[in-house]
Amino acid sequence: DTGVSQDPRHKITKRGQNVTFRCDPISEHNRLYWYRQTLGQGPEFLTYFQNEAQLEKSRLLSDRFSAERPKGSFSTLEIQRTEQGDSAMYLCASSVLRDSLNEQYFGPGTRLTVT
Amino acid sequence: DQQVKQNSPSLSVQEGRISILNCDYTNSMFDYFLWYKKYPAEGPTFLISISSIKDKNEDGRFTVFLNKSAKHLSLHIVPSQPGDSAVYFCAASGSKRIQGAQKLVFGQGTRLTINP
């Protein structure tokens, strides 16, 4: 299967701890996105990369959040000093830049629970 | 500011009949629209999309209609099957010519239940 993969699938952490999630996009996709989804809502955009460049960050992304995409391949999303409000599903998606519709393909997500 | 709205949180349809899911948007800069399907504990799965230069796109049992003047799109599923039971999200994005416009803006989702 060559879809988007995310690791871990589930993470339980105590408030104040740091967590890091990984996303591996579809291999030929040069764009990578992070979204967050809470119960009863649609996914909300956090940030995106084109190759290794981080081109946009949402106002939702506080300074406790940082994302990287070294060498334009996999990406990591780190949350420092987690808070209970950070509990959510964190989704990664990838797409390829071409003259077609902006179809983004999602991974299975990482469910974060902050206790 | 909810730029993409799905006003029906749930919809129940008989197997074999047509399912119609609706979505409204407010931002006239949106020019690509997509529908995703989501099962519990999985990421959204891309279903079908449409560009603002079209008013209809069809793929098998799925058809998306776009009414730009009304800022409204709909997804038709015919015939509906039990495996279609899931949460459906519509999403919109802006022109690729504008940096930052490629992010998807999602509606809140509609839970579709297909009854046998």
Q: What pLDDT band is residue B96 in, cutting at 50, 70 and 90?
A: low
pLDDT band at B55; cut points 50, 70, 90: very high
Q: Which residue has the tokens 């948007």?
A: B25
pLDDT for residue A100 is more than 70:
no
pLDDT higher than threshold 60 for residue A1: no
Q: Do the beta carbons of residue B92 and residue B3 sit within 8 Å?
A: yes
- What is the Cα–Cα distance from A90 to B31, expressed in whole angstroms? 26
What is the average pLDDT score of chain B? 93
Q: What is the DSSP string of A30-95?
A: -EEEEEEE-TTS--EEEEEEETTEEEEE-TTS-TTEEEE-GGGS-EEEEESS--GGG-EEEEEEEE
**φ, ψ for residue A8, nearest 5 deg:** -80, 175
pLDDT tens for A3-56 read 999 999 999 999 999 999 999 999 988 899 999 999 989 999 999 999 999 988
Cis, peptide link before residue A8, omega less than 30° from 0: yes
Quote the tokens at residue A109. 């997500």
Q: Which of B27, B102, B110 to mutate to test the interface with A (most CBs of A within 10 A)?
A: B102
Give the DSSP letter string of chain B: --SEE---SEEEEETTS-EEEEEEE--TTEEEEEEEEE-TTS--EEEEEEETT-SEEEETTEEEEEETTTTEEEEEESS--GGG-EEEEEEEEE-TTSTTTTS-EE---EEEEEE-
Please give the pLDDT value at position B95.
Answer: 66
Mean residue pLDDT across chain A:
92
Which pair of tokens denotes residue A100?
Answer: 């077609």
d(CA A34, CA A74) in angstroms, rounded, equals 12
Put simply, the answer to whether B34 touches A103 (Cβ < 8 Å) is yes
**How far is Cα B49 from Cα A101, in angstroms, rounded to an integer?**
7
Distance CA A59, CA A6 (A): 23
Q: Is A55 on the interface with B (CB under 8 A)?
A: yes
What's the pLDDT score for residue A99? 55
Does the CB of A103 have a partner CB in chain B at under 8 Å? yes
- Which whole number is the average pLDDT over A53-75? 91
- State residue A61's pLDDT score: 85
In this prediction, residue B102 carries a pLDDT of: 80
> Which residues from chain A sit within 8 angstroms of residue B99, using beta carbons?
55-56
B39 close to B46: Cβ distance less than 8 angstroms: no
Burial of B9 (0-12, 13-18, 19+ CB in 10 A): exposed
Tell me which amino acid residue A73 is.
Answer: S
pLDDT of B94: 82
In the predicted model, what is the mean pLDDT of residues B36-56?
A: 93
CB contacts under 8 A, B 57-86 vs A, are none
Nearest CA in chain A to B35: A103
Q: Is the pLDDT of residue A102 over 80?
A: no
Indicate if the pLDDT at residue B84 is higher than 80.
yes
How many other C-beta atoms lie within 10 A of the C-beta of residue B51?
Answer: 13
